């Protein structure tokens, strides 16, 4: 079985057995199921998106509902002091807002997620930390801050290297050429 399938299966079981996980799971399905929700192959970088693709994502009702559900998760997880879940929901908000071209909102969500996740001992969170740093590098590059972009990209690259994430390393190399 593939890792993606196992992750989906685990998420489905959690959504049935753990009441507070259900809204997160529903949001993730809406987000990933939207034709405007993910950075796709060939369009993995924000700069690869056309203005129309960004605009379509900004007006996608599935993504609007996903944001509502993720925000519910953030509030609930914050109140329950479940830092991992809180940080993961913030990361997802960052991804949606980034794809919608709302870079300032995405930046804040990524930074807030990192503030929660970077100190956790859970190794499973490393890919999310890497993604936050990578997407922050993109945002800083869009704003013309190459120094900050480089700092975040190096953090992402280092994590991807430790995880032997070949896809992440390729994306980082692409972004590095732009910086």
pLDDT tens track for 18-39: 556 678 888 888 998 898 888 7
Number of domains the chain contains: 2
Q: State the pLDDT at residue 85.
A: 87
Unique residue bearing structure tokens 């700069």: 47
C-alpha separations of 40 from 19, 49, 68, 83 in Å: 31, 10, 23, 28
Q: State the pLDDT at residue 164.
A: 93
Q: Is residue 103 domain-shared with residue 143, that is, in the same domain?
A: no
Q: Is residue 155 domain-shared with residue 69, that is, in the same domain?
A: no
Q: Is residue 62 domain-shared with residue 126, that is, in the same domain?
A: no
List phi, psi (to 5°) of 51: -55, -35
For the chain, residues with pLDDT lower than 70 are 1-21, 40-42
Residue 163 counted as domain residue:
yes
Q: State the pLDDT at residue 100.
A: 96
Q: Is residue 144 domain-shared with residue 96, that is, in the same domain?
A: no
Domain boundary among 111, 133, 163: 111
Q: State the pLDDT at residue 18.
A: 53
C-alpha separations of 164 from 47, 160, 167, 170 in Å: 25, 6, 9, 11
Q: Is residue 16 domain-shared with residue 89, that is, in the same domain?
A: yes
Task: Please check whether residue 46 is in contact with residue 39, taking contact to mean a CB–CB distance below 8 angstroms.
Answer: yes
Domain boundary among 84, 111, 138: 111
Q: State the pLDDT at residue 150.
A: 97
Task: Please check whether residue 153 is in contact with residue 172, taking contact to mean a CB–CB distance below 8 angstroms.
Answer: yes
Q: Is residue 82 domain-shared with residue 155, that is, in the same domain?
A: no
How far apart are the two ends of the chain, measured CA to CA in Å? Answer: 38
Q: Is residue 102 domain-shared with residue 141, that is, in the same domain?
A: no
d(CA 77, CA 162): 29
Unique residue bearing structure tokens 């559900």: 69
Q: Is residue 44 domain-shared with residue 107, that is, in the same domain?
A: yes
Q: State the pLDDT at residue 144.
A: 96
The token duo for 166 is 């070949």
Q: Is residue 66 domain-shared with residue 93, that is, in the same domain?
A: yes
Q: State the pLDDT at residue 113.
A: 97
Domain that holds residue 60: 1-111
Q: Is residue 91 domain-shared with residue 148, that is, in the same domain?
A: no
Q: State the pLDDT at residue 114.
A: 97
Q: State the pLDDT at residue 42.
A: 63
DSSP assignment letter at 107:
H
The token duo for 160 is 């991807």
Please count the other Cβ atoms lying within 10 Å of the Cβ belonging to residue 9.
11
């Amino acid at each position: 079985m593939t890792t993606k399938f196992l992750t989906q299966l685990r998420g489905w079981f959690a959504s049935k057995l753990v009441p507070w996980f259900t809204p997160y799971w529903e949001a993730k399905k809406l987000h990933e199921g939207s034709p405007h929700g993910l950075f796709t192959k060939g369009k993995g970088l924000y700069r690869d998106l056309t203005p129309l693709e960004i605009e379509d994502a900004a007006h996608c009702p599935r993504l609007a509902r996903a944001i509502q559900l993720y925000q519910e998760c953030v509030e609930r997880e914050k109140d329950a002091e479940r830092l991992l879940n809180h940080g993961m929901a913030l990361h997802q908000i960052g991804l949606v807002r980034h794809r919608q071209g709302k870079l300032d909102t995405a930046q804040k969500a990524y930074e807030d997620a990192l503030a929660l996740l970077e100190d956790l001992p859970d190794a499973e969170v490393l890919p999310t930390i890497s993604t936050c740093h990578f997407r922050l590098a993109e945002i800083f590059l869009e704003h013309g801050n190459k120094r900050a972009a480089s700092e975040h990209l190096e953090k992402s690259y280092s994590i991807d290297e430790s995880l032997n994430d070949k896809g992440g390393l390729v994306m980082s190399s692409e972004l590095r050429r732009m910086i």
